[in-house]
Amino acid sequence: MFCFNCGCRLSEKNFCTGCGADVGLYKKIMYTANRFYNEALDKAKVRDLSGAVVSLRQCIKLDKNHIDARNLLGLIYFERGEVVAALSEWVMSKNIRSEKNIADDYIDAIQNNPGRLEAYNQTIKKYNMALTYCQQDSLDLAVIQLKKVVSMNSRFVQARQLLALLYINSQDLERAKKELDRALSIDANNTMTLRYLKEVEEMTPTDEERIRKKKEAIVYRSGNDTVIQPVGKKEMVGLQTLINIIIGVAIGVGIAWFLVLPSKIQQAQTEVNEKYKEVSEQLDAKTLETEELTTQINELIQEKDSLSSSLSEAQGNKVLLQAYTDLIEAVLMRMNKTGDEMQIADMLEQIDKKYLQDEATDSFKNLYQALRDDISKVVAKNSYNTGYAAFRAEDYDTAIKNLERAYQYDPSNGEALYNLGNSYNKKGDTSKAAEIYEQVVALFPNTEKARKSQNYIRQIKGE
């Protein structure tokens, strides 16, 4: 033991022989620390690791430089599977005394085997993961993780305790007890382990309860197997079979409902979707095609309209040209005396009446009318003579043609109109004949022709 003031080795006196400092209290602290250490050592020897840890922590609180206490504490931590805590203590111990320290060996033993250190670390990570699962209420996953942990590091007391707690929670008392027994074999006086063990024992059915349950069952051997059949089940065989069948059917229907049916529905939906997609694509293609055709139709209609318009224009031009040609020829015929009045009349009649009425210019109309007036007397006379001769000769078509022309060129010629009616009448076209006769009655009243016409009208109408 050394003086806290000057570092001299202390004697049995309560003061330092080097600096004279009062070390009585200091020595008492050191002695107490040693006593805690000895106590921890005794506890560790009988595997009361938890008790040893408590004593060693007390010792270190009194004397932080207690190398043996730190080394032993690290050793106990390591024994309980808490590798990091162990390393921490040994490193601090080595820091206090770097030479002739057994902590060196412990640290080397771990550091020289990185694979083992990594395995310890993985164990700790899995334990922490299991704890997280517990907090998230995923207890099954936690049990799986903890099983891995204890298989990798069988001395991990905390993991075994947590695993036992989970087994107790799930009423798996046998496994809980097994885990607690193993935890107890490592740390014999751990309060938590003992408390859990007591709880498990309280929850475990007593022997009397087991015997009573056993009595309720019939035990017999079938070959190498021991069959335990509960009493009172025999009478229920028929009913039980029926119930089993019903349950089986229910399960079958359930499977069909929850597994097969959704799958079928899904498949049908997929097929419908594919069909729908296919039809949609076809519809789109058809719509596109229709649009293209509509566009083409519209273009063709426009082209047709354009061509019709061009055609109409061309036809209009043709009519105009023909009208001018006919009129010019008729005029030339008159001027050059190359044709008689009848030929000129034929030429004038070839001019399109519609054009003459609607489109012809005033000069065209004037020229036409002048030429027509010039030949009208001769044409009217000749046509009447020809027409009347034809009428007499019963050539009514010729008569009608010439008499019509005669009346056109000379509207005062009532004979021409009357004989025109007669020609139609003789030809058998009575309705036309009646129409002509009515004109005669209207235009030439109080004449012999009017009276005769009236008679013919009566005859035709059957009065």
**Binding residues for other proteins, per CB under 8 A?**
4-5, 21-22, 25-26, 29-30, 60-65, 82-85, 87-88, 91-92, 117, 120-121, 124-125, 127-128, 131, 134-135, 158, 161-162, 165, 168-169, 192, 195-196, 199
Rounded least distance, CB 209 to other proteins, Å: 18
Cα 389 from Cα 419, distance rounded (Å): 11
Q: How far is the CB of 207 from other proteins (least distance, A)?
A: 22
Task: Say which DSSP state 15 is in.
Answer: B
Contact residues for 205 (Cβ-Cβ < 8 A; gap 6+) = 213
* CB closer to other proteins, 4 vs 364: 4
| Least distance between other proteins and beta carbon 199 (Å) | 5
- Report in angstroms how near the CB of residue 189 gets to other proteins at its nearest: 17
In the complex, least distance from residue 225 CB atom to other proteins, rounded to whole angstroms:
37
Q: Which residue has the tokens 């040209």?
A: 321
CA distance 430 to 12: 174
Nearer to other proteins by C-beta: 118 or 303?
Answer: 118
Quick one: 164 or 450, whose CB is closer to other proteins? 164
By C-alpha distance, which of 440, 399, 397, 401 is closest to 418?
440
CB of 243 to other proteins, least distance (A): 35
* 65 three-class SS: coil
| CA–CA distance, 175 with 200 (Å, rounded to integer) | 10
Closest CA to 341 of 382, 388, 384: 382
Tokens of residue 254, six digits: 């359930």
CB of 380 closer than 8 Å to CB of 413: yes
- Joined together, the tokens standing for residue 193 give 């382990």
Characterize the bridge pairing of strands 225-230 and 217-222.
antiparallel
- Using the minimum distance from each CB to other proteins, give the nearer residue, 15 or 364: 15
Q: Which is nearer to other proteins, 90 or 384 (CB)?
A: 90
Centre a 10 Å sphere on the Cβ of residue 100 and count the other Cβ atoms it contains: 7
Indicate the residue among 22 and 108 with the shorter CB distance to other proteins: 22
Least gap, CB of 164 to other proteins (angstroms): 10
359-363: long-range pairs with CB below 8 Å, 24+? 359/316, 359/320, 360/323
Taking the least distance from each CB to other proteins, the nearer of 38 and 111 is 111
